Amino acid sequence: MAAPLSTTISIDPSTRTRFTIVTPLTFTHRNFSIHCTASESIPQTPPTSTTSNTKNKKNNNKNSSLFDQLSPLANTTLSNTTSKDQSYVLSKPKSTWVNPTKQKRSVLSQQRHKRVPYSYSPQLRDFKLFAQKLNDSGDSEAEFLACLGEIPHELTRENALLILNSLKTWQKTLLFFNWIRTQNSLPMETIFYNVTMKALRFGRQFGKIEELAHQMIDEGTQPDNITYSTIITCAKKCNLFDKAVQWFERMYKTGLMPDEVTYSAILDVYAKLGKVEEVINLYEKARATGWKPDNITFSVLGKMFGEAGDYDGIRYVLQEMKSIGVQANLVVYNTLLEAMGKAGKPGFARSLFEEMIDLGISPDEKTLTALIKIYGKARWSRDALELWDRMKENRWPMDFFLYNTLLNMCADVGLVEEAETLFRDMKQSEHRKPDSWSYTAMLNIYGSEGNVDKAMKLFEEMSKSGVELNIMGCTCLIQCLGKAMEFDGVVRVFNVAVERGVKLDDRLCGCLLSVVSLSHGSKHEENILACLQQANPKLVAFIQLIVDEETSFETIKEEFKNIMSSAAVEVRRPFCNCLIDICRNKELQERAHELLYLGTLYGLYPSLHNKTANEWRLDVRSLSVGAAETALEEWMWTLTKIVRREGTLPELFLAQTGSGTHKFAQGLNISFASYLRKLDAPFRQSEEKVGSFIATRKDLVSWVQSKFPSGAIAT
DNA sequence: ATAGGGTTAG
């Protein structure tokens, strides 16, 4: 989803750490400031979910939200915490009571529903057989009802429940439920509704569940915690989060207190809505009344913080577990591992895994999938291979997800042969035939490696064996063919994708855009542009605009903003990089500088410049070759200006291109080095750090002075 | 699935 692109200050309360400060930045053609460390902001998270409660606040209490209802409780149970408190994690002291003897009002019931075992029925065997017969009956209502005529004995409460629980489709459960109702021989207890609702939930029939709920309310059968938690989790399963919240609030309004099951279910609903503050609020309110959360709650919290990439949140969960004395189980470890990965902490994931092994908890497929994925994304090939060996050694469980994750990991760290072996094994296996994910991983590997022949062979193989080509496989292929300058192949693959109805996304457009820049000067440029025209006509129109020297900067700025606003966040920088390359190919250097300026202005290059008193650093690691050259030129112009007016300069200048730790990474450092030579700039390749270029102030100043006659420098 | 809550691949 595209986040809005904005030129105003944006402080999104849901992202606690992300503030963007706009400082005035003057811009004149040809005279670019490189001090663009501040940026106009593009919010990274769509501002969607944070305001839903304020909407309800104005309504009367008939429709008031849960938080309004709970706020009097909050005032009495929580001290010195405001809901706007940004530092809820770790720094907040545990709640302190003003009056510890005063009874705190509860937000949840500590008592769970007691399970009543079924009483013995002498007709159990007969009814089990009868249930079997009903399951085997035809699916039509008539057949089912005919079968019901053969009921062996009069229906008791226990036997009715037995049958309700034994029917295998929700349709039959519902028919049987309605039949009991019409028989009128048994009082309709809550448990009948609950069992039926559970069957409906299995079939994701939220509408039917709601009908039943209204029906029971109408006839005066009280819904209990089991009813509500079933309704809420069904809504959740059907992605009807508003409905889940609605039913939870309804429950409060009827005066029924949720127990811990319902409570953790609703915590999960708010977590899935991304309402982190609300979840913490509810969690702490319940904690304050003495509730002892269990592993399920911690799994919900861990998942939520993982989705938010919030490392502090994950630490908060670990700390809470420790202080409450709850030992994590396998599910919690799996969730927290996954969360550590999302928060970008592979090292902590590794220690968490070792901690779990030391405790004697055996990893399952999900554990290993999470960890292999993390090592792959972090490019920790040694850890990934070590873990892979341990998996084989210990015969830890493997499944299809794990196989495909291993393939993806191989793609991430550049293990071509290992991937080929695994892929071959999968083909030879009975139950783990490669699917579209597996093929995509292999296409990714061959694509990154630039192995056109093997990639195309896989492509043909997929068509033959009927494995669907998905958007990512398609993008990998196009990228691979483009880099190999096989533009006819690009067009062919693109057309196949369109024919098969692959939905074209922004990444594919970015890929095509890079092919456009590569095809410059060849007879194929028009054909590639025609593909892009189909995928994203606005982008093609923008290219036409930027390559026309007559277009004013104001127009470029406006259209740039439009293009980037509607593009997915992750493709904005690649788009800008490619557009700069296209301009430089056509020797439209000035336009290239304008685009780099705009990219910087809109925060697409947030860490391009780093300055300390001793060192100025240009970090071009996320730039394309053309964009990196443009950035270097701009840097040098600024230095020239500063030298001219005899401003202060640091001792050291450093340009970083990255060493290309990725096995497949194409050498930006090589092209950057040759451009430095072309400019005859006094940067030297650092000996200890590959991909770093260093220059001293002395050398740079004399270089600047030699480029400009001394008279020109005097002011 | 045996009346209710949590975790796996771009």
Give the separation between CA A484 and CA A475, rounded to whole angstroms: 14
Q: With H, G, I as helix, E, B as strand and everything else as coil, classify residue A654.
A: strand
Model pLDDT for residues A335-375, shown as the tens digit of each residue: 999 999 999 999 999 999 999 999 999 999 999 999 999 99
CB of A294 lies under 7 Å from some atom of strand B? yes
Whether residue A40 is predicted with pLDDT greater than 80 in this model: the reply is: no
Angstrom distance (rounded) from CA A421 to CA A94: 54
Q: Is the CB of A577 under 7 A from strand B?
A: no
Indicate the residue type of A97: W
Give the pair of three-digit tokens for residue A520: 């410059």
Residue that is written with structure tokens 């300390």 in the block: A612
| A67/A52 Cα distance (integer angstroms) | 11
pLDDT at res. A661: 54
Q: Is the CB of A369 under 7 A from strand B?
A: yes
Q: Is the pLDDT of residue A714 over 80?
A: no
Q: Which stretch of A22-26, A438-442, A456-460, A621-625 has the lowest confidence by average pLDDT?
A: A22-26
Least confident of A5-9, A219-223, A242-246, A294-298: A5-9
Element (H, E) at A692: strand A692-696
pLDDT of residue A709: 60
> Would you say the C-beta of A331 is within 7 Å of strand B?
yes
No. of helices (H) and no. of strands (E), chain A? 34, 5
Distance A190 CA to B4 C1' (A): 13
Q: What is the pLDDT of residue A119?
A: 65
Give the neighbor-by-neighbor strand order of the sheet with A652-656.
A609-611, A615-619, A652-656, A692-696, A684-685
DSSP string, A56-89: HHTS-GGG--HHHHHHHHHHHH--S--TT-S--S
A430 or A637, higher pLDDT:
A637
Does the pLDDT of residue A506 top 90, yes or no? yes
What is the mean predicted confidence (pLDDT) over A667-690? Answer: 90
High-pLDDT (> 70) share of chain A, % = 82
Taking the domains of chain A in order of start, what are their residue ranges? Answer: 293-394, 487-601, 609-713
Do residues A37 and A620 lie in contact, with contact meaning Cβ atoms separated by under 8 Å? no
Q: Give residue numbers, 93 to 112 of A, with CB < 7 Å from strand B.
A: 112
Using a 10 angstrom Cβ sphere, with 0-12 exposed, 13-18 middle and 19 or more buried, the burial of residue A173 is: buried
Nucleotide closest to residue A135 (CA–C1'): B1
CATH class of the structural domain A609-713:
alpha beta
- Nucleotide of closest approach to A437 (CA, C1'): B9
What's the CA gap between A87 and A462, in Å, rounded? 52
Reported confidence tier of residue A232, pLDDT bands at 50, 70, 90: very high
Q: With a cut of 50, say whether residue A609 has pLDDT above it.
A: yes
Cβ of A342 less than 7 A from strand B: no
Res A103 pLDDT > 70: no
Q: CA A259, C1' B6: Å apart? A: 16
Residue A318 has pLDDT above 80, yes or no: yes
Residues 299-328 of A with CB under 7 A from strand B: 299-300, 303
CA–C1' nearest nucleotide, residue A272: B6
**What is the C-alpha separation between A299 and A296, in angstroms, rounded?**
5
Is residue A71 scored above 80 in pLDDT? no
Per the structure, the residues numbered 654 to 713 in protein chain A that have their CB within 7 angstroms of any atom of strand B are: none
Per-residue pLDDT tens over the stretch A517-552: 999 989 999 999 999 999 999 999 999 999 999 999
Q: What pLDDT sits at residue A521?
A: 86
Q: Which of A492, A502, A495, A441 is nearest to A469 (CA)?
A: A502
pLDDT of residue A108: 87
Of the candidate ranges A114-118, A463-467, A668-672, the one whose mean pLDDT is the lowest: A114-118
Which pLDDT does position A59 carry in this prediction?
Answer: 33
Q: A378-436 pLDDT, tens per residue?
A: 999 999 999 999 999 999 999 999 999 999 999 999 999 999 999 999 999 888 899 99
Q: Which residue has the higher pLDDT, A22 or A370?
A: A370
pLDDT confidence of A95, banded at 50, 70, 90? Answer: very low
DSSP state at residue A275: -
Q: What is residue A33's predicted lDDT score, i.e. its pLDDT? A: 30
- pLDDT category at A44 given cuts 50, 70, 90 is very low
Distance A437 CA to B5 C1' (A): 32
Confidence of residue A665 (pLDDT cuts 50, 70, 90): low
Show the DSSP H helices in A291-415 as ranges.
Answer: 295-307, 311-324, 330-342, 346-358, 365-377, 381-393, 400-413
Of A339, A291, A244, A248, residue with least CA distance to A66? A248
Q: Which nucleotides of B are covered by protein (CB under 7 A)?
A: 1-10
| Nearest nucleic acid nucleotide to A439, CA to C1' distance | B10
Range A261-266 average pLDDT: 95
Q: Which of A324-328, A383-387, A639-643, A686-690 has the lowest mean pLDDT?
A: A686-690
Q: Which residue has the tokens 């740039």?
A: A560
- Residues A247-268, mean pLDDT to the nearest whole number: 94
Per-residue burial over A359-372, b = 16 or more CB atoms within 10 Å of its CB, e = otherwise: eebebbbbbbbbbb
Residue nearest to nucleotide B8 (CA to C1'): A366
CA dihedral for A209, A210, A214, A217, sign (positive or negative): positive
Residue (of A14, A1, A621, A606) closest to A309 by Cα position: A14
- CA A243 to CA A210: how far, in whole Å? 10
Look over chain A and give the mean of its residue pLDDT values, rounded to a whole number: 84
Nearest to A608 by CA among A563, A644, A638, A588: A638
Does A251 score more than 80 pLDDT? yes
Report which of residues A431 and A101 the model is more confident about. Answer: A431
**pLDDT of A92 over the 50 cut:** no
Cβ neighbours for A57, distance < 8 A, ≥ 6 positions apart: A64, A65, A68
Q: Is the CB of A436 under 7 A from strand B?
A: yes
Question: Which of chain A's residues 148-177 bind strand B, using a 7 Å CB cutoff?
Answer: 161-162, 165-170, 173
Contact of A443 with A459, CB cutoff 8 Å: yes
CA of A118, C1' of B4: distance in angstroms: 17
Residue nearest the C1' of B4 (CA based) = A226
The C-alpha atoms of residue A198 and residue A621 are separated, in whole angstroms, by 53
Identity of the amino acid at A3: A
Look at residue A592 and tell me whether its pLDDT is greater than 90.
yes
Q: What is the CA A248 to C1' B6 distance in angstroms?
A: 18
Q: Report pLDDT digits (tens) over A452-480.
A: 999 999 999 998 988 989 999 999 999 99
Report residue A342 as tokens.
């999302």
Q: Is the model more confident about A80 or about A150? A: A150
Spatial distance between the Cα atoms of A238 and A622, rounded to a whole number of angstroms: 40
